[in-house]
Each structure stands twice: as structure tokens, then as C-alpha cells.
Structure 1
Amino acid sequence: MGGWRDMPAEALEQQYSPSRWSPRLGSDTIIEAHIAATAAGTQRARAGAQTSLHVPYGAGEGERLDIYYPTEPSGTFPALVYIHGGYWQCLRRPRPAAWLFPPSKDQSGFAAPPLVSRGVAVVVVGYDTAPKGRLDAMVLQVRRSLVFLVQRYPGIRGIYLCGHSAGAHLAAMVLSTDWSQYGVVPDIKGAVLVSGVYDLEPILHTYVNDALDMSREVAQRNSPVLCVAPAPAGCEVLVAVAQHDSPEFRRQSREYGQALRAAGWSVSLLDLAGVDHFDIIEKLSEESYVLTQVILNMISRA
């Protein structure tokens, strides 16, 4: 039958080690370069925008938002809600040397400048990563962050989700939410899911699960490809993947896009040439970057 189930353990771990697939730098060097790029971009964003940092949306230690306000806000404005990656866990040197992302909203504001200058608020969501946090709780936290935004900031006109890697997974889980349990229905007009993981079962068999400690049941109920909701009206989804993502990451993006389309969602797949798992998202700090322009065009169409 083929597929990930037939891969030797070492090959599967390599498939889910994003830093091993970049042609630019070695696996350790690219991690350091990525952390430096996102931290510097976030410093620039905070220096150049009006912000509200560490806004609590709940009582948990990680339940905080960073808000970057539009340069010239009107009475109402759209908001891009960004969910960071990091394999749902604290930064560490995994086995084998593989990745990982800044596991914090504090290095995740780099995408704000091109958006706030065009009248879009950017909201960066913090959540409790493993080993403290568990996956069910992370999904609940991100959903509750949107409920908080809707209730606290009535000036927001339309929410656009953007998540990278593990953050794309969490954004996809937001799309599967039954909002009747929350008392409000956020007006989600679009989602940009970048280099995500949408089926968690392969993760069970890699080093990534060492900190997450997921059971098969947890993995299944938190796999977006297995819990696609009925398509809402007026929500557009873009599933983006890098040329130099691993074959497994590329397969996951393709198959999740197909699952959404089969359920009637308005979805498109963007395969970005010349980028890897890291600079595909770093370049959102640049207004001329194709993915930045795609996001701005998505928002302008609403």
C-alpha cells in the first residue's frame, strides 16, 4: 500500500524534521537563523506599531495575546489572528537535531508591519505548549482566544486566521469548531494555513510525541483532516506549502485541501517555489512577498 506506515522509523522521523529539508543551511544553523529572523522582525514590528502586549484572554499562564493595531484605524477593521508553530512544545534540541520554532508569541509579530500599514490589525495568540500544555487544551485555548477577541473588541470586522506548522494545525482545528458551545460565532472570513500538519497519527511514531505524550485517540480527535466541519458561507481557505517542505508535509497539505474541497469549502492550494519550511513564513515581514500579497488580497475581497 505504501505511505508513511511503511516507512522505517528513521525515515519517518526525517520526514517530520523540517530543518533537514532546507537546501539553504544545515539543520542546526537554519534553526538559529530562523529564531534570529523572527525575533528581529518582531522587534521591528513592536517598534513601528501601536501595540497592546500580553493581553490576558484567560487565567492560564500562556493565555496571552499581542495586538498590533492598524496605523490609521477606522471605526472597524479586519484582524489577522496569527498562531505560531513549534511542534506544540517548548524549544529544545530534539532527537535527531531537527527543528524547532520559537515556541512563543514573543517571536511571532514579524508579519505585522505590511498588514498594519494597510489597515489590518494583527493579533498573535499565545498558548501553553508541552510539556505543560496538552493538545486538547491548546485547541481549546486558541478557540477561546477568538471568543475573547469578539467580545472584547467589537471594532474587529472579520477575522482571518494564519498559522504556521503546528500553528496551521491549530488554525485548522478552529475551522472545525462547533461554536454553539461558546455562545458567540466569530466572523471568520478566511484562513491561511502554512506548512501544516493535519493528520497527527504519523506524529505518534516520532520524537515529536515524546513531549506531547499523545494517545491514538487524542491524535485522531485533534486531526483536522478527520473532523472537517460543514462549509460555512463566505470563508476562504488557502493551504500553502513550501517547495522544500518534506514529502510528508507536502502530502498532508494536499490531502487536507482535498478533504476541505470535498466538504464544500472554498479552498485553494499554493505551492511556493524557492522557499523552505522556515522562510516561507519569515518572508511575511515583506510587503512584496507573494504570500503577504495573497493575504492582503483575501482581506480586500471581503
Structure 2
Amino acid sequence: MSNIKHNRLRYQELDLNTLEKAYSPSSCIDDIGVYIKQYIDLSDKAKKSAIEQGKLISNIQYGSNPDEVLDLFMPFKAAPQKRKLQVYIHGGYWQELSKDESCFAATNFQNSGYHFAVINYSLAPKASLTEIVEQNRQALIFLYQHADEYGYDKNEIYLSGSSAGGHLAMMMALTDWSKYIETEQNIVKGICAVSGIYDLTPIAQTYINEPLQLTEKEIANYSPLLFDTEKLSVPLREKEIIKHCAFIMAYGDTETSEFKCQTSAMIHHLTGQKIKVTQAEIAQRNHFNVILDLADAESWLSQQIFQQMKRYLN
């Protein structure tokens, strides 16, 4: 594991073939199916364990769309006085996967006394990126408003996400929640964003955009790296919001240079605002298995999240 160093994105210097390879994480591995099977097998195991102990509430509807559901895993052991919730947002380039193969880390958090939720959302081309971002916001609002019902503290909600899920987690951290509900605080107290995309500009130039059909407005509104350096988006209030959120950012050492640069540039952007970021390049991990470290209580990623959740940020 090594510290991440800032490198600028190079997509403007790349021809189309090179660009598409740079934003194809599977170009660094032999068979993506191996890792998808791990997601499925570990998730099935986690669900079976939770069901056997009566600690899983499946398909909770957070919106009217059939895709707008989430699974909530309850802690296995006695929790502290203020119970905490870790929410996972899956990746898949906003067009693949679902909650069903994305709960592989549930048991790890349940064993540590935490609630664990996995959000399902509509996928492109069925949904635009605007709709996907809003669905995730509505899921978090639901979890915030129903905290007492499910037994965790609404002021102790943390997020993790991989790839597109890392992007969505960052968007949640940068949301002005006062536009949606009566609150003056950031309802997200910490995020762990792994191998995320934070500037959508190069995505719009590749085959990845075929189902997404990103608009110029979406690229500007949903690219955290394009937010104004001084204001960090308009209104200025959003600059204050992220000061009340802790950040962990990481990627695997076997990833394309552009994926690494996306994270390092986002870290540089945040630290430029005097915001502390815990960061690492994780050895012997690729874009797909680095997030599986969330299922291992002894991994660096898990340990950092547990430390993050032990801190209460006002």
C-alpha cells in the first residue's frame, strides 16, 4: 500500500482507442466474470447468514419506482448507545449490477455492531444520470427519516461506493440536503470512495456514454472535479457542507492510469479546500476486487471505515 500522489488527468492527450482502454477497467484483468462471481457468492452468503439470524429486511421501498428499493442488514451484536449505519452504493458504470450482488460486506459490518444498507437504483439507458443521482439522494433521505424506526442514529450515516458507486457517494457528500428536507447539516458524515470517476468529460467521449447519453449540463453538475475551486459549486453553502464529512479515497495498484488519476485529482481538489482525506493505493488489488476488502475486517479499507465511524462529526 502506498500514498496516492497527485497526477493530472491526461484524457485530452489520448486518441479514442487509448482513451477507451484507459476508461475500461477490465483491460487490466483476464476475466471480469471471476470477480462478478465473487460478488454474487459472497453476497448470497451474507444474505443467508442474515436471514438465518432474522437480521435482514429486504426490498424496502424508498420511492415509487420498482427499482427504488434497498436492503437493510441489522447488527448481529449489541451496538453502542448511538447505532451507526453504513450504506453501500454499487458500481457498474451506472448501467450494470444491482443491490443483490452488492451486499458482500454486510456480515463484516453486522459483526461490528453496525447497520448496513445496500441501495438499488435504475440503470442506464432506462434512467439518465440525473435520475440515478436523484434516486440515491431519495434513498438517503428515506434512511435519514426512518432512522428511529430501524434503530440507528440519523446523525450517524456513512457511505461507501466503488467505481460509479464512488462517484455517486461523492455526489451524496456534496449535496445540499436543505434543498430536500429541513436540516442545516450534511446527513452524510463520512464516505469511502474507491476507484471512482469524478470528471465525466472523458466518459462522454467513449463507448461508455452510449447508454448514458450524458448532456453538457449533467457533465457540469455531476463532475465534482469541475466544481469551482473557490466556491466548490454554487451556492457557497456546499463548500461548508463538505467540511462536515470525512473522506477515505483509494484504488487498487492494478488499475489504469486514468482511474488512478481521477482519484488523485479529486484528493488534490479536496485538500486544496483544507479538507483532510485518508488515502491509499492498495497493493495486489484491481478495480474489481479492491472493494471486496470491505468484507474483510482486517483489511486497511475496513479498518479505516471503522475508525471513521467511531468518530462523531458535528
Determine the structure 2 residue equivalent to 1:81. 87
TM-score normalised over the length of structure 1 = 0.90
Identity of aligned residues (%): 34
C-alpha separation in 2, matches of 1:133 and 1:212: 8
- For 1:141-152, list aligned pairs within 5 A: 141-152=135-146
User: Which amino acid is the alignment partner of residue 172 of structure 2?
Assistant: V
C-alpha separation in 1, matches of 2:91 and 2:288: 10
Per-residue deviation, residues 228-283 of structure 1 (Å, max 9, x unmatched): 43144542101111111110011110111111122232222211111110110123
User: Which amino acid is the alignment partner of residue 248 of structure 2?
Assistant: L
Determine the structure 2 residue equivalent to 1:172. 170
User: Which amino acid is the alignment partner of residue 282 of structure 1?
Assistant: L
Per-residue deviation, residues 67-116 of structure 1 (Å, max 9, x unmatched): 111012446411111000000013xxxxxxxxxxxx10000000111111
User: Which amino acid is the alignment partner of residue 172 of structure 1?
Assistant: M
After the TM superposition, which of the residue ranges 276-285 and 191-200 deviates more from structure 2?
A: 276-285
Determine the structure 1 residue equivalent to 2:107. 113
SS of match in other structure, 2:202: helix
Instruction: Show structure 2 runs of 5+ residues with no match.
Output: 1-7, 233-237
Determine the structure 2 residue equivalent to 1:41. 42
Determine the structure 2 residue equivalent to 1:14. 21
Could you tell me how far 1:293 is from its partner in structure 2?
A: 1.4
1:61 and 2:66 matched: yes
CA contact (8 A) 1:163 1:193 kept: yes
Determine the structure 2 residue equivalent to 1:247. 257
Are residues 184 and 41 of structure 1, via their aligned partners in 2, closer, same or farther at CA, if it must alter by over 3 Å? Answer: farther
After the TM superposition, which of the residue ranges 116-125 and 276-285 deviates more from structure 2?
A: 276-285
- Cα RMSD of the aligned pairs, angstroms, is 1.7
Given the alignment, which residue of 230, 235, 239 partners 2:239?
A: 230
User: Which amino acid is the alignment partner of residue 291 of structure 1?
Assistant: L
- For 1:72-221, list aligned pairs within 5 A: 72-74=77-79, 76-90=82-96, 103-154=97-148, 155-157=151-153, 158-185=156-183, 187-221=187-221
C-alpha separation in 1, matches of 2:299 and 2:272: 30
Q: Where does structure 1 differ by over 4 angstroms across 4 or more consecutive aligned residues?
A: none
Are residues 268 and 286 of structure 1, via their aligned partners in 2, closer, same or farther at CA, if it must alter by over 3 Å? Answer: closer
C-alpha separation in 1, matches of 2:194 and 2:177: 24
Per-residue deviation, residues 29-85 of structure 1 (Å, max 9, x unmatched): 2x1111110111111111122101110000012110111110124464111110000
CA contact (8 A) 1:198 1:223 kept: yes
Corresponding pairs, count: 284
Could you tell me how far 1:224 is from its partner in structure 2?
A: 1.5
Are residues 129 and 184 of structure 1, via their aligned partners in 2, closer, same or farther at CA, if it must alter by over 3 Å? Answer: farther
C-alpha separation in 1, matches of 2:182 and 2:277: 24
C-alpha separation in 2, matches of 1:57 and 1:63: 6
User: Which amino acid is the alignment partner of residue 63 of structure 2?
Assistant: G
C-alpha separation in 1, matches of 2:260 and 2:166: 13
User: Which amino acid is the alignment partner of residue 127 of structure 1?
Assistant: Y
TM-score normalised over the length of structure 2 = 0.86
CA contact (8 A) 1:56 1:63 kept: yes
User: Which amino acid is the alignment partner of residue 58 of structure 2?
Assistant: L
C-alpha separation in 1, matches of 2:300 and 2:259: 20
CA contact (8 A) 1:195 1:240 kept: yes
Instruction: Show structure 1 runs of 5+ residues with no match.
Output: 91-102
Determine the structure 1 residue equivalent to 2:4. none
